[in-house]
Amino acid sequence: EGSRRDFIKSLAYSRRSKDGIAQAYALFGLGGVTRIQGRLRQAQGYYLQATRYLEKRQDTFGQAYAHCGLANVLRQRGALEEARRHYLKTHKLYTALGDWVDLAYVDWGLGKIELHRGNLVSAEVRLVRALNAFSRSHETRGQALAELALAAVWHAQGRTARAEALFNAAIGRARKAGLHAHLEIFT
């Protein structure tokens, strides 16, 4: 809640200074915090506003971040096809930037959509790609998230022993790093 208050202040300051990019970044913070709180409709509004602020600016990272945040909210709200479209826009932007860690989060999100739809083979492809990128970048939270999702895929495919081993490794990795990735339902 403290973070939300701080981002609201940041948004107010950026509005006073008439700085559209600063407003977009404050909205990213608000979108992320409210999404984590489970206030998905509100988070969606913040990300949409940020997207509008950045659509005609040359802030490629900001545009990618806005579309990715929006895709996350849409995925969580069950608007899977719309989320997929935003993830694919984000994928192009992060690829152009060479931002491999954020690109891995996009692959993870696309993998989660495929998992939700029951497309286990394509989910596995995306999640393995994300996991490999997270591992190369030493992105512990991303590794845990990708491992947890991949364990669900393997379990659904009947590879339960392999799924259990990966699930336990993911929980261990998260706990060792002091993370709560295994509890993050609004990620």
Interior/surface letters 101-113, b for 16+ CB within 10 angstroms, e for the rest: ebbbbbbbbbbbb
Q: Rounded to the nearest 5°, which phi and psi values hold at 167?
A: -60, -50
Q: Give the pTM.
A: 0.93
On whether the CB atoms of residues 66 and 44 are closer than 8 A, the answer is no
* Contact by Cβ (8 Å): 97, 59: no
Place of tokens 């988070």: 43
Cα-based distances in Å from 92 to 34, 72, 73, 84: 26, 16, 19, 13
Q: What is the pLDDT of residue 33?
A: 94
- What does pLDDT average to over the chain? 95
Query: For the residues 84-113, what does the mean pLDDT come to?
Result: 97
| Residue of 63, 117, 129 lying closest to 90 (CA atoms) | 63
**117 vs 123: CA distance, rounded Å:** 9
Predicted confidence (pLDDT) at residue 187 exceeds the cutoff of 80: no
pLDDT of residue 74: 98
Structure tokens at 65: 């971040």
Is 90 exceeded by the pLDDT of residue 184? no
Residues 26-67 have pLDDT tens digits of: 999 999 999 989 999 999 999 999 999 898 888 999 999 999
Instruction: For residue 183, name the pLDDT band (cuts at 50, 70, 90).
Output: confident
- The percentage of the chain sitting over the pLDDT mark of 90, rounded to a whole number, equals 87
> Does the structure show a pLDDT above 90 at 186?
no
What is the percentage of the chain residues whose pLDDT exceeds 70?
100
| 185 vs 144 pLDDT, higher one | 144
Cα–Cα dist 109/115, whole Å:
10
Using only the alpha carbons of the chain, give its radius of gyration: 17
Which tokens sit at 164?
Answer: 């259990």
Gap between the Cα atoms of 124 and 128, Å rounded: 6
How confident is the model at residue 166, as a pLDDT?
Answer: 98
- Mean pLDDT computed over 99-111: 97
Q: What is the pLDDT of residues 114-163, one digit of tens each?
A: 999 999 999 999 999 999 999 999 999 999 999 999 999 999 999 999 99
What does 28-94 look like in DSSP terms, one character per residue?
Answer: HHHHHHHHHTT-HHHHHHHHHHHHHHHTTSS-HHHHHHHHHHHHHHHHHHT-HHHHHHHHHHHHHHH
Average pLDDT over residues 93-98: 97
